Amino acid sequence: MLVSIPVRRVLRLGHPVLRSPARNLSAREIAAPEVQRLVAELAATMAAYEGVGLAAPQVGEGISLFVMGLPEGSPRHPEGIELTVVFNPRLRPLGADREQDWEGCLSLPGLRGQVERWRRVELRGQDRKGKAFKRVYEGFPARVIQHESDHLLGKVYLDRMTDLASLSYVGG
């Protein structure tokens, strides 16, 4: 029997949950059926909106959770990004290298801007089962992690832009 996973509506900038810090979850809370259902809904919503990452606050849930993933062969990052579930992320920059690149956000549709981010980061958090992990990311995946982690702090990429002159509409 096929079970349909609902696609949630992505909130747009202006909704108060997008500007509020998210709450960390305990391992017991992570294991709860409603939180596991939310993980599946986030992944389905990210795919439906053709995103690379999605944080729980973007669908109205003020908890410290994001997902990221991208199929191999994507023009945005040909190597792809394995579907990753992260609860309670903590980031640490590795090295001094930073890079400027374009970012967009499902909560600010149609806009893009240049944002400076750390090139390499160490990510610590808990996976879908509540198990602690530590991984190193660089380049585009590191940028996605920093972007999604910002959502859990009540920030959007506009807050990280040092020069709004690059802010542009894309598409029609």
- In this predicted model, what pLDDT tens digit does every residue of 5-17 receive, in sequence order? 999 999 999 999 9
Q: What is the DSSP letter of 43?
A: H
Give the pLDDT confidence score for residue 126 in this predicted structure: 98
Question: Could you confirm whether 103 is annotated as catalytic?
Answer: no
Residue 171 has pLDDT above 90, yes or no: no
Question: With pLDDT > 90 as the criterion, what percentage of the chain qualifies?
Answer: 95
Q: What is the DSSP letter of 40?
A: H
Residue 172 has pLDDT above 60, yes or no: no
Q: Residue 171 class from Cβ within 10 Å (0-12 exposed, 13-18 middle, 19+ buried)?
A: exposed
Give the pLDDT confidence score for residue 2 in this predicted structure: 60
**Would you list the DSSP string of 82-145?**
EEEEEEEEEEEE-SS-EEEEEE--TTSTTEEEEEEEESEEEEEEE-TTS-EEEEEEESHHHHHH
Q: So what's the architecture of 16-169 in CATH? A: Alpha-Beta Complex (3.90)
- In this predicted model, what pLDDT tens digit does every residue of 33-91 receive, in sequence order? 999 999 999 999 999 999 999 999 999 999 999 999 999 999 989 999 999 999 999 99
Give the pLDDT confidence score for residue 135 in this predicted structure: 98
- Residue 172 to residue 162: CA distance in whole angstroms: 26
Domain ranges in the chain are: 16-169
Structure token digits, residue 134: 């530590």
Chain centroid, CA 26 distance in Å? 20
Q: Residue 155 class from Cβ within 10 Å (0-12 exposed, 13-18 middle, 19+ buried)?
A: middle
| β-pairing verdict for 53-55 and 168-169 | unpaired
- Residue 38 to residue 163: CA distance in whole angstroms: 35
Q: To 5 degrees, how large is the angle CA 29–CA 30–CA 33?
A: 85
Kindly indicate the confidence band of residue 4, based on its pLDDT and cuts at 50, 70 and 90: confident
Kindly indicate the confidence band of residue 100, based on its pLDDT and cuts at 50, 70 and 90: very high
Whether the Cβ atoms of residue 4 and residue 45 lie closer than 8 Å to each other:
no
**Of 41, 61, 103, 148, which residue is the catalytic one?**
148
